[in-house]
Structure 1
Amino acid sequence: MTTAPRIAVLGLLGSGNLGNQGSLEAMLQFLRKAHPDSPITCVCSGPEEVERQYGIPSFSITWYRPQRATRSRLTTIGLKLFGKVADLVRTPRWVRRYDIVIVPGMGVLETTLQLQPWGWPYALFLVFLSARLSGAKTALVGIGANVARERSIRWLFRSTANLATYRSYRDEYSRDALRSMGVDTSRDEVCPDLAFALPPPPPPPRTPGRTVGLGVMAYHGSNADRARSEQIYSDYVVKITEFARWLVDEGYRVRLFTGDPSDQAVVDSVAEDLRRTRPELADSRLIVEPTASFGELTQQLAAVDLVVASRYHNLLAAMTGSKPAISISYAAKNDILMEQMGLAEFRQPIQSLDVARLIGQFRALEVRAPQLTAGIESACAESSDALQHQYAALSAALFGPDRVVADHVKPGTPGNDKPQEA
């Protein structure tokens, strides 16, 4: 009798980033239905939160965690350095306990936000190197990538990708980026984002009036913008607040939402401004509710009419509910998603955000919403169907060709949804 492969799902998970959670939820849905006998463990940045939400055993990717930080900067630096050395022993030890390591979606090979080479890029490379040495199979599934400017990060990304047993990307741009960095991608697939496999939210009861979902982001630029990151952040907050005022003045209800805990500072700033400058309107036209999961986010957005957002997975959550949206884009992945959904004209770059133009785009979006909604529904259905081919290919690569037939499971079909024990 063959023992079912032991699976480690790896990523920056459990830290509150809702987009990463959506990728995890989609992968767990697939694994539990297609490979119910395989025990699953999550190796992540927030193991306590993942265990609480998903009921699977979890532990930290690295020895050092922010909770170990001290008031002494020197001591904290010392702990970080010790952690890098400790991980050289710790990582190969835990990797040997698993047969398969899967990175589900996420922008794991991106530098669109500020990133240090010896953080996530180094940790990911060390895991994949350890897996190669121990004989474990590895997969980068539906990931996002871009060409890294920093030589050290580019080397780590390229080396990690070359060590993978299976690779697929959520868009052509990501595959081209890996090819540009020296990876042979000729056999790699491009498939829709994993979150398209999740079931759409149920339609909410209709409420009178018009509601706009306004997704905000604590945007400070990329590594190239470190010298002016605070100015970039400040300019964005001023402009998004100006747009929120306009929405309230025009009679819209505004539902503020986030995609990461760091975004809460922007929510607080916008909400405080509206309560101060529009006290007679804020209570009735401003909605601020916490969101703890990707599923909760899609449910909240199901209750709005239109969406304006920056974070990629905020936009994707809007699409799964067939909501016309405007992207205040901080990365190429935003623009690609908008093109796929037939919304290419409803976007503009975050660093050159023009509020007057945004208002014009919003008015045009509202007028054309009915026909745009039909196009979004069709594109989402096609994306969900396309993911089934990827799941079959993934199973063949990691579990063997004899497991492929059982793996071809459509979202929402009966299966074992119970948490697996490691």
Structure 2
Amino acid sequence: MKFVISGFYGLGNTGDEAILEAIIYNLRDQLQNPDITVFSLSPEKTAKEHQVKSVYRGWKQQLKEKVQALKRADLLISGGGGLLQDTYPTRFLFGPLPYYLLIVFLAKLCGTKVMFFSQGIGPVNSTWGKILMKVFANMADFVTVRDQYSKDLLKELGVRRPEVVVTSDIVFAFQPRKDTACMDSLPPQNRDSLVAVSVRPWFDQVKQFEQIAKILDSLIEERGVTPVFVPMEGHHDAQASEKVLAHMKYSKHCHILGTDFSPNQYVNFIGECQLTIGMRLHALIFSTIKGVPHIGLSYDKKVESLLKRNGMWEFSAILEEMDVEELTENALHLLNERQQYSEIVSRNALELKQEALRNVELLKDRFL
């Protein structure tokens, strides 16, 4: 079977690269010799890393090659991840939302079936975004979404023609392979009592950097932990990490990992930590996979949805409603009772993995 995979690939976002790796692995695991082409901003790198064909994802180059790939394909897999949203400005034909929907439209013009695969939908707030969703998202042949919120939003937006099934993020079916590169990059004396920290820029909001700094300073004072920042999106997250460090009394007790580690290397590192405090969805998913208790700082419904499914919501907070004292107490509690909460997270991770595997099972049922 021939596939084209369209998503936020080749742009250095660890979560999205983990999504791609998980999709490819599970297609190969459950199907015989799938023929895979990925639309990527770094096609040569994507082709080499995953042993697939790859075409430049943007409109300015290789349009003919994109059309040819779609004509050859049996199925366009759109996703996974949060592709269909207008958090970032959506103009007539520019922005994530129109891009991914126009790829869907192009696939249908080529006679290719379309599956929205393990997607997180929204937010979609602009009038133009809502029109685009109602017109083009209804062209999909089948849809799986990673949470109930996404299914409800699709219905609210008037996307009712394709069947929609709630599964979970395909990264829960990621297969980690042992790799100690991240840990080896730290000084030997700073490899105990690790706390993974994942922060990101979020428009003009900066208050959270000072708040996270206070929480980390308290954990260093009371428990002697070593906070290690995990930059899930390269220099963007590294710069956000530096902003937290600028507010800390004990910044010399902290480290920022390099920005060029692979998803597999990051997930292995997070698995060695006692606790994760994070904004990035896939840093929290990595923590869930590895049974690491965590505090999520929800800047988006997708983060809240995950935390409610994996049992960590009661210890977490909406980003704009952070209470430093409460979150510090929650962090100390999770550290003190780590084994208990690790078991809870691990049990929920097994259920979420089974739901993630359903994405490929449903694909087989509908399209084979």
**TM-score (normalised: structure 1):** 0.77
1:297 corresponds to which of 266, 269, 280: 266
1:282-329 alpha-carbon deviations (Å, 9 max, x no partner):
2xx323222532211111101110110011111000010000000111
Following the alignment from structure 1 to structure 2, what is the Cα–Cα distance between the partners of residues 390 and 167? 9
1:130-169 alpha-carbon deviations (Å, 9 max, x no partner):
2112211111111001351101112223333211122011
How many angstroms does 1:186 deviate by? 7.6
How many angstroms does 1:359 deviate by? 0.9
Following the alignment from structure 2 to structure 1, what is the Cα–Cα distance between the partners of residues 290 and 179? 8
The equivalent of 1:338 in structure 2 is: 307
How many angstroms does 1:333 deviate by? 1.6
How many angstroms does 1:90 deviate by? 7.3
The equivalent of 2:151 in structure 1 is: 175
2:230 corresponds to which of 236, 248, 257: 257
The equivalent of 2:127 in structure 1 is: 151
1:242-300 alpha-carbon deviations (Å, 9 max, x no partner):
333333333111111122122111123334555xx44xx72xx3232225322111111
Following the alignment from structure 1 to structure 2, what is the Cα–Cα distance between the partners of residues 389 and 353? 35
**Cα–Cα, structure 1 residues 249 and 201, in superposed 2: closer, same or farther, change >3 Å?**
farther
Letter in 2 for 1:176: D
Is this contact kept in 1: 2:148–2:166, CA < 8 A? Answer: yes
Following the alignment from structure 2 to structure 1, what is the Cα–Cα distance between the partners of residues 289 and 179? 12
1:173-209 alpha-carbon deviations (Å, 9 max, x no partner):
0000000000117832111210111235659899974
**Cα–Cα, structure 1 residues 352 and 388, in superposed 2: closer, same or farther, change >3 Å?**
closer
Is this contact kept in 2: 1:298–1:318, CA < 8 A? Answer: yes
Structure with more relative contact order (C-alpha pairs < 8 Å, separation 6 or more): 1
How many angstroms does 1:368 deviate by? 3.0
The residue matched to 1:381 in structure 2 has which SS?
helix
Alignment root-mean-square deviation, CA: 2.6
The residue matched to 2:255 in structure 1 has which SS?
strand
Is this contact kept in 1: 2:3–2:35, CA < 8 A? Answer: yes
**Cα–Cα, structure 1 residues 185 and 63, in superposed 2: closer, same or farther, change >3 Å?**
closer
The equivalent of 1:267 in structure 2 is: 241
The equivalent of 1:138 in structure 2 is: 114
The equivalent of 1:287 in structure 2 is: 255
Work out whether 1:100 is the aligned partner of 2:63. no
The residue matched to 2:26 in structure 1 has which SS?
helix
1:314-352 alpha-carbon deviations (Å, 9 max, x no partner):
100001000000011111121121111122211111123
Letter in 2 for 1:96: K
Work out whether 1:110 is the aligned partner of 2:85. yes
1:217 corresponds to which of 200, 211, 220: 200
Letter in 1 for 2:220: V
How many angstroms does 1:92 deviate by? 4.1
How many angstroms does 1:7 deviate by? 1.4
Is this contact kept in 2: 1:107–1:144, CA < 8 A? Answer: yes
How many angstroms does 1:94 deviate by? 4.7
Is this contact kept in 1: 2:275–2:335, CA < 8 A? Answer: yes
**TM-score (normalised: structure 2):** 0.88
Instruction: Give the 5 Å matches for 1:4-403.
Output: 5-64=1-60, 92=67, 94-111=69-86, 113-117=87-91, 118-184=94-160, 187-200=163-176, 209-220=192-203, 229=204, 232=205, 234-250=206-222, 251-261=224-234, 262-271=236-245, 277-278=249-250, 282=252, 285-291=253-259, 292-398=261-367, 400=368
Following the alignment from structure 2 to structure 1, what is the Cα–Cα distance between the partners of residues 68 and 162? 33
Following the alignment from structure 2 to structure 1, what is the Cα–Cα distance between the partners of residues 134 and 41? 22
Following the alignment from structure 2 to structure 1, what is the Cα–Cα distance between the partners of residues 228 and 214? 15
Question: Which structure would you say has the larger Rg?
Answer: 1
